[in-house]
């Protein structure tokens, strides 16, 4: 669904200057040698097992800023259901989907992302973006009633992701030798969770457009359910791009900007992108977990001292900063550096 009627569509998605550097053949890139973290081992009563998994987690966070999470306790049937319900929504007739259309100045709802610069290409992506937690922040006008079990499925998935986030963020504090709840205490009254359900239609000119252009997430942590079969996500490490493999039933977890800030740069917000595909459509469900939006976030006090000065400013409402910079093709976290 295109916001700007009358513009040359191919030009909107390519912005020749903006997409000049697209890799000719994305399949030629190497696969990410993905750290795989087993959540059940992080929680293991065997100290040796738990310590070894924590060491792997620490390595993943400081090197890739991302990892695949297995044995996270979310049932395969629920993962399949959220994928199926999402797919059912995106194949509804456009008039039905339009009932949930977002307003131009508000990211919440159905549609495509706003672009605020004529040099920034649009993503080949249709998405539904919803505040899912805390529950009193939900705006049900944007929650599809079709398929009829969509709302219930998304609620169930949200509650599970909330639990997984708590476990992972506690383990992340432990990695740094901090009390388990050190990061969670900085979240304020409650974690905030947004869901972004991405649908990437087949694209007739995948070598010219991006399904999602290079970015890092505004969240503290992102839990991504990838498409069951179709790859496309890539992550950047030391200036090289890697393809993210699909591991059945795993969640792909990445550090977002707010966690990079809170950890004073120790954990790396993962830079990533999605390539377009001419043969297959693709679906993904990203769950963005962040501190309560009213909380001030900044480098965690226990990680700052004379030898490690704060590298980032302390701010509120990072989400809004993100939506000022990203649509102009700029990386918001750069503005946060001291
Ligand atoms: O579709 C994907 O694999 C990634 C989506 C993503 O990066 C996002 O929604 O922020
Ligand atoms: Fe992302």
User: How far apart are the CA of 73 and the centre of ligand 1, in A?
Assistant: 22
ipTM for the assembly:
0.99
Could you tell me the residue ranges of all domains in the chain?
7-336
User: How far apart are the CA of 271 and the centre of ligand 2, in A?
Assistant: 8
Candidate from 272, 287, 326, 331 with most ligand 1 atoms within 8 A of CB, to mutate: 272
Residue 21 has what pLDDT?
Answer: 57
Q: Which range has highest mean pLDDT (6-10, 281-285, 299-303, 315-319)? A: 281-285
User: How far apart are the CA of 216 and the centre of ligand 1, in A?
Assistant: 10
Instruction: Report the CATH superfamily, name and number, of domain 7-336.
Output: B-lactam Antibiotic, Isopenicillin N Synthase; Chain (2.60.120.330)
Backbone angles phi, psi at 164, to 5 degrees: -65, -45
- Per-residue model confidence as pLDDT tens digits over 223-237: 999 999 999 999 999
Model confidence at 98: pLDDT above 80: yes
Tokens for 337, please give them.
Answer: 């550096």
Tokens for 166, please give them.
Answer: 């708590």
Count other C-beta atoms under 10 Å from residue 185's C-beta: 12
Rounded mean pLDDT, 89-113: 94
Running DSSP on this structure, what letter comes out for residue 224? E
CA nearest ligand 1 atom 1, residue? 284
Residue 334 exposed, middle or buried by CB count within 10 Å (0-12, 13-18, 19+): exposed
Residue 3 has what pLDDT?
Answer: 46
* CB 195 less than 6 A from any atom of ligand 1: no
pTM, rounded to two decimals: 0.94
Model confidence at 61: pLDDT above 50: yes
Give the confidence band of 17 by pLDDT, cuts at 50, 70, 90. very low
């Amino acid at each position: 669904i295109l916001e700007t009627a009358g513009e040359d569509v191919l030009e909107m998605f390519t912005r020749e200057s903006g997409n000049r550097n697209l890799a000719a053949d994305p399949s030629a890139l190497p696969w990410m040698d993905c750290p795989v973290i087993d959540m059940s081992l992080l929680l293991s009563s065997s100290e040796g097992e738990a310590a070894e998994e924590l060491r792997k987690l620490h390595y993943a966070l400081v090197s890739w800023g991302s990892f695949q999470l297995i044995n996270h306790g979310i049932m395969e049937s629920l993962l399949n259901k959220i994928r199926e319900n999402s797919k059912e929504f995106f194949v509804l007739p456009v008039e039905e989907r339009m009932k949930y259309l977002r307003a131009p100045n508000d990211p919440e709802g159905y549609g495509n992302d706003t672009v605020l610069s004529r040099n920034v290409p649009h993503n080949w992506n249709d998405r539904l973006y919803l505040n899912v937690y805390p529950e009193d922040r939900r705006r049900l006008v944007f929650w599809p009633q079709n398929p009829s079990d969509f709302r219930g499925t998304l609620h169930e998935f949200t509650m599970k992701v909330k639990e997984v986030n708590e476990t992972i963020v506690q383990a992340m504090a432990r990695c740094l030798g901090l009390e388990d709840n050190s990061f969670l205490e900085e979240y304020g009254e409650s974690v905030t969770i947004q869901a972004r359900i991405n649908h990437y239609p087949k694209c007739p000119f995948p070598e010219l457009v991006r399904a999602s252009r290079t970015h890092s997430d505004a969240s503290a942590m992102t839990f991504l359910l990838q498409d069951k079969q179709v790859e496309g996500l890539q992550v950047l490490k030391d200036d090289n791009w890697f393809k993210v493999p699909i591991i059945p039933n795993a969640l792909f977890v990445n550090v977002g900007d707010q966690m990079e800030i809170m950890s004073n740069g120790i954990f790396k917000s993962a830079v990533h992108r999605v390539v377009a595909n001419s043969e297959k459509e693709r679906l993904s469900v990203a769950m963005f977990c962040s501190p309560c939006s009213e909380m001030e976030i900044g480098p965690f006090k226990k990680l700052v001292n004379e030898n490690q000065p704060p590298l980032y400013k302390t701010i509120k409402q990072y989400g809004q900063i993100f939506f000022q910079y990203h649509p102009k093709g700029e990386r918001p976290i750069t503005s946060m550096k001291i």
